[in-house]
Amino acid sequence: PQTMPDGQGQTGSFMLLAAQRIEVLRGPFSTLYGNASGGVISVFTESGRDPPSLLSTLGFGSYGSFNANVVGQGVAGGVGYVVGASHFETDGYRDHSAASRDLGVGKLTFSPAPGTRVTILATTQSQPDSQDPLGLTRAQWEADPRQSDPVSTAFDTRKSIGQQQIGVSVEHDIGDATQLKAVVYGGQRDIRQYLSFSGAALTSSGGTVDLQRGFGGASLRLTHRFSRTLSLITGAEYESQDEHRRGYVNNNGDLGDLRRDEDDKVASTAVYAQMKWDFAQDLSLTAGVRGNAVRFDSADHYITPDNPDDSGNRDYRKTVPVAGITWHARDNVNVYASYGQGFETPTFAEIAYRDAGPGINFDLKPATSTAYEVGVKTEFAKDQRLDVALFSTDTADEIVIDAATGGRTTYKNGGKTRRQGVEVEYGGDLGHGVRAHLALTWLDAKFVDAITTGSPPVVLDAGNKLPGVPAFTAYGELAWTPTALPWLETALEVQSSAKIYVNERNSDAAPAYTIANVRVGVQKSIAGVRWGAFARLNNITDRNYVGSVIVGDTNGRYFEPAPGRNWFAGVSANVGF
């Protein structure tokens, strides 16, 4: 799992060239995967197969961007293998935004006995000194979107990440109807981040964050099919994380004196069960329950007369159910309804700081949610797919940003929130080599309770919109492969977003935008080598727009501009042996 035991999720170690597929599980059905209610993203790495092959890619683009990848795969002595490496670097669209990243992946698959399958997967990530240009005020963004805030260079704001992880999965068939799966994993993640202030005060926790995190876990899952219509999955898992957190003074980009020193530990235990019952010819019922117990402990080692002992602990426990029913109305039409509860504990990143004074914010409560969804999935004609979903999620004690200052963010519970909306997705063949894809989301996300925000505190009436959440997003694509040129593909992409509020007061917002991109690619086999080339032009109208916002920034630096018109092009070669 790339989600840490405390709930933090990172995607930086994914090497997409080695990915076979990506699956997205939407909605509250997270019984088998975790206690949060948003859903699951699963990236499946390729498995080695015959014949062996070597795939390499090379790409260049705007702002000094460069990317090189190589992936080798095959089978030797009954063991499937995949080995890959990736290097990326860029000067960055904005000042003080250069970055580089090296990734590695290795996977082995083999069967030591009939009915037994073993998978070993290891990944590594090295991302040294990625520069942070910080957000801009509205005036700065409108004057020059490529600038960085002056304090980013004054304090040399940057972040370094190193991660190594390995996991082993063993699946064993116990007869034809029962399968047992065991997983064990472990890893290390180190982070050092220089923020945009010195943090010299004895109770400031410092302006440089240094984290050394060891993590691991184990799980056991049993799948049994009682009959053709009834199956059950049961399991248990244990995960732990031990993080040594230190804070230092940021002496204008150099490491200064110690201002924080603590050991933070989290242990998570869960048991779950989920059954699927086809109780009628056209009706299927899925129901599950998950019991969660999460304990946070912090041992403070930085104790002075001005900085007292901030050690403490907190336990979170909850059992959450999910249920769903599917009506197979026709061979090409499924209608479904689902219900689920969610339980989201705060992460150590969210409880790391208080809004005032030093120490862990153990007052932060978990968010609990209740979600409903109804929808239809249909292939209404040959090569024509339409999905429509209506959803509603009520969350109590929503964990929201309290304030963001110089790269440091504090959190609070924002009362009750509600998200209601509609999602529509279409994909189809329009004939003559043209394929279309369209995804639309309308979302009303708001505070149901009155909340207190800002400094000095201001009480806001219920109904304000959640910051950072657009009310409308859209993505559309038209791709064309000429019948006479099957090795060629061209495409036009359009992305659109409604405005995005930057704080709970809704006093300012990143404006709505629509941009378009074009791409072209070719694939051709020559002398046993599968050659490829591609080029894409993004933001073809050179729109000046905000790609993301920093919610609640106390300095008003809410806006992170997206690149203007930019390009990326590359070549690939896949050699079989």
Q: Positive or negative CA dihedral for 171, 175, 176, 179? A: negative
Q: How many other β-carbons are positioned within 10 Å of the β-carbon of residue 236? A: 14
This prediction's pTM: 0.91
Q: What pLDDT score was predicted for residue 35?
A: 61
Q: Answer whether the bond into residue 561 is a cis peptide, omega within 30°.
A: no
pLDDT value for 455: 64
How does the average pLDDT of the chain come out, rounded?
Answer: 93
Q: Can you give the length of the chain in residues?
A: 577
Q: So what's the pLDDT on residue 347?
A: 87
Residue type, 108: L
Instruction: Name which residue leads in pLDDT, 36 or 114.
Output: 114
Query: For the residues 154-180, what does the mean pLDDT come to?
Result: 96
pLDDT digits (tens, 9 = 90+) for 388-441: 999 999 999 988 888 777 667 888 888 899 999 999 999 999 999 999 999 999
* The pLDDT of residue 406: 66
Say which residue the tokens 């492969």 belong to.
Answer: 481
- Predicted local distance difference test score (pLDDT) of residue 454: 66
Tell me the per-residue pLDDT of 292-328, one tens digit each, with 9 for 90 and over.
Answer: 999 999 999 999 888 888 899 999 999 999 999 999 9
Give the confidence band of 14 by pLDDT, cuts at 50, 70, 90: confident
Task: State residue 36's pLDDT score.
Answer: 59
CB 279 within 8 A of CB 285: yes
What pLDDT, on a 0 to 100 scale, did the predictor assign at position 427?
A: 97
Residues 117/108, Cβ–Cβ less than 8 Å? no
pLDDT value at position 204? Answer: 86
Contact by Cβ (8 Å): 562, 572: no
Within 8 A by CB and 6+ apart from 194, the residues are 155, 156, 157, 158, 159, 207, 208, 250, 253
Split at pLDDT 50, 70, 90, the class of 386 is: very high
Q: How far apart are CA 303 and CA 354, in angstroms?
A: 17
Across the strands, what pairs with 531?
Answer: 524, 573
- Per-residue pLDDT at 159 exceeds 60: yes
pLDDT tens-digit readout, 445-483: 999 988 887 667 788 889 999 999 999 999 999 999 999
Cα distances from 102 to residues 21, 220, 505, in angstroms, run 21, 33, 40
pLDDT in tens, 267-288: 999 999 999 999 998 999 999 9
With a CB cutoff of 8 Å and minimum separation 6, the contacts of 356 are none
Task: Please name which of 527, 435, 531, 437 lies closest in space to residue 489, comparing C-alpha atoms.
Answer: 435
Beta strands in 175-310 (DSSP E): 178-194, 208-225, 230-251, 254-280, 283-300
Which range is least confidently modeled, 13-17, 223-227, 521-525? 13-17
Bridge partner list, 189 = 163, 213
Residues 6+ apart with CB under 8 A from 134: 148, 149, 151, 152, 157, 196, 406, 407, 557
- The answer, yes or no, to whether residue 240 has pLDDT greater than 80, is yes
- Average pLDDT of 331-340? 94
